[in-house]
Amino acid sequence: MNNDLQKPIMGFWADLPKPFFVAAPMADVTDAAFRQMIAKYSRHGESGGGPDVFWTEFVSADGLCSAGREVLKRDLAFSDREHPIVAQIFGANPENMKKTAELCKKLGFDGIDINMGCPDKSIEKQGAGAAHMKEIKHAQEVIRATIAGAGGLPVSVKTRIGYNKENLEQWLGAILETKPAAITVHARTRKELSLVPARWEEVARAVKLAEGTGTLIIGNGDVRDLADAGGKARATGADGVMLGCAMFGTPWLFDRTRKAPPSLSEKFEILIEHTHLFEKLLGDIKNFAIMKKHYKAYVNGFDGAKELRVHMMDAKNADEVERIAREFLKTK
């Protein structure tokens, strides 16, 4: 038998530098507006700039196969500047996952990622997210169906090291049998959520388990910045590192040439731009309150930050946020 047939379909993954650094998929965070801000202020596509891969927020495959698909497809919108970009989907129905993979191919994505680690109870009730770890054979069926529908796009999986306890060898081994291009390993169990420190020694174990398969291993969990990401990659042998919470309030995070963070006035201009862009792109389908978690990150570490955050989080629209920010800057 031709061994090449047993290797993963890699697509763009084969061309990435090692180690590479990617932007995590985060519900109600990495929407189209925030990704565009990251692309601009991390200078994506320029020398020394940008995450090596973008992810969308996760989107329901069942929803995308329902009458409500047109609204959900808005969560899959992306700009030309965001390539390579991976659509993250979730679901437990293999046929719907296959159909959704076909849709992602038509929409122009560079890859597809399956969420098999989300601990949200409403997701797990559907048999999706972290619930896949309890039904390993079915999880394999879901991955294979997605690969079948992907039309040659690389398919990856984002997961954890186990459900109630670490089960990496069995669980990762089962995923590796399906030949995904990459596996992102969030170095905690589902039970641990984010309540304990990420165990990066488990990422190192995952690297060993994946040796010779052709599947890339991406480490995830408690990564502070690019320097920390580089150190974790070197220590574990991971092919790449995913940064999540570190992106909050820092769309310039992936600019490797930046010597210092923006000034307060520059940061406020970015905050204002982000807010108006969110309202423009998503204001008709998403609650403006989603921006509050960004204000928590943008507005901190200076005198008066707490009071300013309170005012911004009471704001109802982008114009109001801009007025509050500019009035505060006048006092500086």
Which tokens sit at 244? Answer: 């999540």
Q: 124 CB contacts (<8 Å, ≥6 apart)? A: 118, 130, 131
Helix axes 136-149, 94-107, angle to 10 degrees: 30
30, 253 Cβ separation under 8 angstroms: no
Using only the alpha carbons of the chain, give its radius of gyration: 20
What sections of the chain are H helices per DSSP?
32-41, 61-64, 69-72, 94-107, 121-124, 136-149, 168-177, 200-210, 226-236, 264-282, 292-298, 305-313, 318-330
Per-residue confidence (pLDDT) for residue 68, from 0 to 100? 82
Q: 286 CB contacts (<8 Å, ≥6 apart)? A: 28, 31, 278
- Give the Cβ contact number of residue 329 at 10 Å: 12
Question: What is the 3 state secondary structure string of 43-107?
Answer: CCCCCCCCCCEEEEEEEEHHHHCCCCHHHHHHHHCCCHHHCCEEEEEECCCHHHHHHHHHHHHHH
- Is 206 strand, coil or helix? helix
Residue 308 to residue 313: CA distance in whole angstroms? 9
User: For residue 312, how many C-alpha atoms fall within 13 Å in the half-sphere facing its CB?
Assistant: 29
181, 156 Cβ separation under 8 angstroms: yes
202, 161 Cβ separation under 8 angstroms: yes
Give the type of residue at 325.
A
Which residues does residue 162 pair with via DSSP β-bridges, in sequence order?
A: 166
Question: What are the pLDDT digits (tens) for 98-116?
Answer: 999 999 999 999 999 999 9
E strand or H helix that includes residue 220: strand 216-220
Which of 65, 69, 109 has its CA nearest to residue 85?
A: 109
Question: 104 an active-site residue?
Answer: no
One pLDDT digit (tens) per residue for the chain, 332 residues: 334 457 999 999 999 999 999 999 999 999 999 999 999 999 999 999 999 999 999 999 999 999 888 988 999 999 999 999 999 999 999 999 999 999 999 999 999 999 999 999 999 999 999 999 999 999 999 999 999 999 999 999 999 999 999 999 999 999 999 999 999 999 999 999 888 999 999 999 999 999 999 999 999 999 999 999 999 999 999 999 999 999 999 999 999 999 999 999 999 999 999 999 999 999 999 999 999 999 999 999 999 999 999 999 999 999 999 999 999 998 87
CA distances to 111, 136, 158, 228 from 149, in Å = 12, 20, 18, 37
Q: Do the bridges between strand 111-116 and strand 155-160 make them parallel or antiparallel, or are there none, so unpaired? A: parallel
E strand or H helix that includes residue 242: strand 240-243
